[in-house]
Structure 1
Amino acid sequence: MADTNYDVIVLGSGPGGYVAAIRCAQLGLKTAIVERELLGGICLNWGCIPTKALLRSAEILHYAQHAKDYGLKIAGAIEADLEAVVKRSRGVAKQLNQGVTHLMKKNKIAVHMGEGTLTGPTSLTVKGEKGEEKLTAKHVIVATGARARDLPFAPADGKRVWTYRHAMTPKEMPKKLLVIGSGAIGIEFASFYNDMGVDVTVVEMLDRVVPVEDKDVSAFLEKSLTKQGMTIMTGAGVEDLKVTAKGVKAKIKDSKGKVSETEFSHCITAIGIVPNTENVGLEKLADMDRGFIQIDDYGRTKSKGLWAIGDCTPGPWLAHKASHEGVTTAEAIAKELGNKDVHPHPLDRANIPGCTYCHPQIASVGLTEAKAKEAGHEVKAGTFPFIGNGKAIALGEADGFVKTVFDAKTGELLGAHMVGAEVTEMIQGFVVGKTLETTEAELMQTIFPHPTISESMHESVLASYGRALHI
């Protein structure tokens, strides 16, 4: 009979759950993980990672089509082999899934495959291949994640109306694609399919694309995507969507209130997420708000021994936030179980970076200029364009900018916002700076290597104080 009693059981094996399990195991706790589908959860198997593989294929295609800009000739037609592109992406996902399987073995974490349901704060049943198992623990971490929200009048059918999941393994290339929602997921798929040669229209309810970003970034991205051939409709809404034999008919109300009907071959809905918190047994055990589990700064719910992390808790709904919470919660549990050497720190939401892998890329951390002013800060903000950066020009990637926002009185770095090549890798410099509570003085004194695009980060800090050198 397999052992069914643990120190910690983690329900869900996404980037929150599996990282929490590893940290628990590192701290000497007897740990199990329960997963109903694939180890690694949505992020590794159907989300963050395989989408980046798709976007990489689109990026290479884009470069090949613009080879002459770099003095190169490519003989013959360059075209996308959709089946091969999808196959590569699935291969990447499989490799990472196997990686998580290996990490579970290495850390001696028991894996129970099946549907887990809580029977109390620290007990659950798992219905899986082995029938029904009853598991108990001193602590349980709920990391059940979230799923795509459906349009009420047009639920995804996988044929014509897609969620991100269908959009990743398309059976056919869309001819004319409607993307509803311009958050990270919507914009990434719009960018992918546009680069692959599809006629793409994006409809966003709010007055600008990527609405959580700084408005200068939104404006730059909209201009760039429009130049790339996309149709961008902001302040607009899809009022009705009818699936036909050949595609979808959408009634779209534009920003002026005019309604028109347009036909598309396919539609992707990217209008937010719904937490996977139904039918888990949480009803009496945790306080909920719109389905999200309410927790304290360390992941505790109202029931002793029951914790929650990641996308089933309040946002931002990002994989790296879930992983960070996983570590914090694991350490808080170890501390409760008598470990005096761990010192968990609550999550600082001001230091969570956001990255969107469209073309051009977007990355940001902290407050936008508008939000900083709303919060009562007197601000100093500066922008440096990539056109003033030697490396960006040499790469043929001179479109983009870095913007930094400081508190005028204290010099504290409040936020950083970037759009352009490689910014998703560069943002981490500002994240480290913010975590170390940097001011403009340290950043100005920091020597940035030349030639790199990261020099534009330095210049944007200088620009905030009227000291930019290359503009």
Structure 2
Amino acid sequence: MAIETELLILGGGTGGYVAAIRAAQKGLDVVLVEKDKLGGTCLHRGCIPSKALLKSAEVMDTFNMADEFGIEIGETAKVNYSKVTKRKEAIVDQLYQGVQGLVKKNKIKVVQGKGAVLGPSIFSPVSGAVAVTFDDPDKEEEIYVPKKLIIATGSVPNSLPHLPLDEEMILSSDGMLRLQELPERMAIVGGGVIGVEWASLLHSLGVEITIFEALDRLLINESKQVSKALQKQFSKRGIDVKVGQLVEQAEIANGTVSLTIKGEDKPLVVDKVMVAIGRKPVVEGIGLQNTSVKYDAKGIHVNAHYQTSESHIYAIGDCIDTLQLAHVAMKEGELAVDHIVHDTSEPINYVNVPRCTYTSPEIASVGYTKETLPEGKKVKTGTFQFNSNGKALIGGKPDGFVEVIKDEETDDLIGVSIIGPHATNLISEVSTAIYMDASPIEIGEAIHPHPTLSEAIQEAALDVYKLAIHK
């Protein structure tokens, strides 16, 4: 027997469960189908567990700096990775319970099983019914027939043919989070956000790291100045950065991995290799071939309101070709629901989505960088170094800077890049300012408390007009 509902959401990750909650708040009857755990990649295999590890790495860095603050510690700090991972798991579990509670509070029906979209059938004259199968062989398949369907199946780690993942010696980010002990030497292939975050935290926890990036710089989506500053800081810390170099082959023998590097005579021998070359959308194995929904290797095709080529079927999050960020998936889920309920929604300006990298030093940006400016747009920039900021000096982390970009014609703030202490928290001020169509002078003239890191943003904003006080 087919079960009817107003809305079915296929995938209970960040985008999916947020869409479900918003839909329930709007009064819709919601079914949420998830094959694994609510919270998806972000909660269980991405944002949250990796940032928990990064916090442990930060504590280790602070311990190692203690002497600079006049604190003499007799014994050398030691990483107990078992305790590190237990703390990570406890945080994930607490948040997981919270998500489950929110879903229950909003009276959302959760179906724990694997869903596949059906084409026109005896259950429905149009595509969009969902067949759910279960791990329990004694449990029969269930068919759900929603009026509207949101696909939120997320993404999985990408791989390379010559570096096949076994999640033991050659690992993805998923495998990294299952490690029970740290290797002594490790290579990371890929200098994007995931690669540099893992390089940073592993080095702080005592692992010898070499990071390879095939392009000419780390973090290709950030400004060249930020990339240059990060590489300089990594090298200063002792992380071996190889840009413009390709890993051609991996050979596993005697508990180590021997990497052949293009243009190098001698292989690099490490204990483990991490492949961090991005993520690919989950579009196969979910029944899309039964419909007329268009999709390719980059994801499901949608319009500005997240409708597919079948207008009653929507798609959001990592399974579409937009920014693969948890906060983007959340917003897309909310907007898809708004369109379902009100037949209208406000499209996202993806240029103005804040982007964060949780390395040491942290990196955050919003809007344009110098490299991504539209052709012909005239701008002025302002900068301020954290080594002239009192709070950064007090904190012992004065490296980095703030860069502000202003549109000459409109005087609007159109881009900010930050590399330095607490950049990922600081970015919210300027993200909100861009959303409100503020100009840099409005940020510069607003009173900022002293001493704070936010004063660096104020000074950089004033520097656009050559009015910075402490520069």
Distance 1:333 1:291 in 2: 24
Q: Indicate the residue corresponding to 2:133 in structure 1.
A: 127
Q: Report if aligned partners of 2:283, 2:295 keep a CA contact under 8 Å in 1.
A: no
What's the secondary structure of 1:173's corresponding residue? coil
| Correspondence 1:158 to 2:164 | no
Q: Indicate the residue corresponding to 2:342 in structure 1.
A: 335
Q: Indicate the residue corresponding to 1:54 in structure 2.
A: 53
| Correspondence 1:207 to 2:216 | yes
Distance 1:245 1:103 in 2: 49
Amino acid at match of 1:265: D
Quote how far apart the aligned CAs of 1:408 are: 1.7
Quote how far apart the aligned CAs of 1:406 are: 1.1
What's the secondary structure of 2:73's corresponding residue? coil
Q: Which runs of 5+ in 1 are unaligned?
A: 337-342
**Could you say if the C-alpha distance between residues 389 and 291 of structure 1 is closer, same or farther in structure 2, counting changes exceeding 3 Å?**
closer
Q: Indicate the residue corresponding to 1:269 in structure 2.
A: 275
Q: Report if aligned partners of 2:223, 2:369 keep a CA contact under 8 Å in 1.
A: yes
Distance 1:448 1:71 in 2: 30
Q: Report if aligned partners of 1:154, 1:242 keep a CA contact under 8 Å in 2.
A: no
Distance 2:309 2:266 in 1: 49
Distance 2:296 2:442 in 1: 41
**Could you say if the C-alpha distance between residues 358 and 38 of structure 1 is closer, same or farther in structure 2, counting changes exceeding 3 Å?**
same
Q: Report if aligned partners of 1:182, 1:270 keep a CA contact under 8 Å in 2.
A: yes
Q: Report if aligned partners of 1:167, 1:189 keep a CA contact under 8 Å in 2.
A: no
Q: Report if aligned partners of 2:130, 2:144 keep a CA contact under 8 Å in 1.
A: yes
Amino acid at match of 1:125: A
Quote how far apart the aligned CAs of 1:206 are: 0.9
Mapping 1:52-451, distance limit 5 Å: 52-120=51-119, 121-128=127-134, 129=136, 130-253=139-262, 257-258=263-264, 260-283=266-289, 284-336=291-343, 344-372=345-373, 374-451=374-451
Q: Indicate the residue corresponding to 1:457 in structure 2.
A: 457
Instruction: Give the aligned CA root-mean-square deviation in angstroms.
Output: 1.3
Q: Indicate the residue corresponding to 1:340 in structure 2.
A: none
Q: Report if aligned partners of 1:203, 1:236 keep a CA contact under 8 Å in 2.
A: yes
Amino acid at match of 2:367: G
Amino acid at match of 1:212: N
Distance 1:37 1:244 in 2: 34
**Could you say if the C-alpha distance between residues 169 and 74 of structure 1 is closer, same or farther in structure 2, counting changes exceeding 3 Å?**
farther
Quote how far apart the aligned CAs of 1:440 are: 2.2
Quote how far apart the aligned CAs of 1:298 are: 0.9
Distance 1:157 1:131 in 2: 33
Distance 2:387 2:349 in 1: 34
Quote how far apart the aligned CAs of 1:269 are: 0.4
Aligned residues: 460
Q: Report if aligned partners of 1:214, 1:369 keep a CA contact under 8 Å in 2.
A: yes
Distance 1:19 1:199 in 2: 39
What's the secondary structure of 2:311's corresponding residue? coil
Q: Report if aligned partners of 1:46, 1:93 keep a CA contact under 8 Å in 2.
A: no
Q: Indicate the residue corresponding to 2:39 in structure 1.
A: 40
What's the secondary structure of 1:364's corresponding residue? strand
Distance 1:166 1:70 in 2: 37
Quote how far apart the aligned CAs of 1:14 are: 0.9
Quote how far apart the aligned CAs of 1:258 are: 4.3
Distance 2:99 2:324 in 1: 21
TM-score normalised according to structure 2 size: 0.95
What's the secondary structure of 2:113's corresponding residue? strand
Quote how far apart the aligned CAs of 1:195 are: 0.3
Amino acid at match of 1:225: F
Quote how far apart the aligned CAs of 1:344 are: 2.1
Distance 1:204 1:346 in 2: 34
**Could you say if the C-alpha distance between residues 378 and 49 of structure 1 is closer, same or farther in structure 2, counting changes exceeding 3 Å?**
same
Quote how far apart the aligned CAs of 1:468 are: 1.4
Distance 1:375 1:89 in 2: 45
Quote how far apart the aligned CAs of 1:18 are: 0.4
Q: Report if aligned partners of 1:58, 1:192 keep a CA contact under 8 Å in 2.
A: yes
Deviation string, structure 1 residues 135-186 (Cα, Å, up to 9, x no partner)? 1110000000000011111221111101111112212211111001111111
Distance 1:127 1:59 in 2: 43
Amino acid at match of 1:27: K
Q: Report if aligned partners of 1:277, 1:291 keep a CA contact under 8 Å in 2.
A: no
Amino acid at match of 1:86: T
Q: Indicate the residue corresponding to 2:25 in structure 1.
A: 26
Amino acid at match of 1:77: T
Q: Report if aligned partners of 2:441, 2:462 keep a CA contact under 8 Å in 1.
A: no
What's the secondary structure of 1:4's corresponding residue? strand
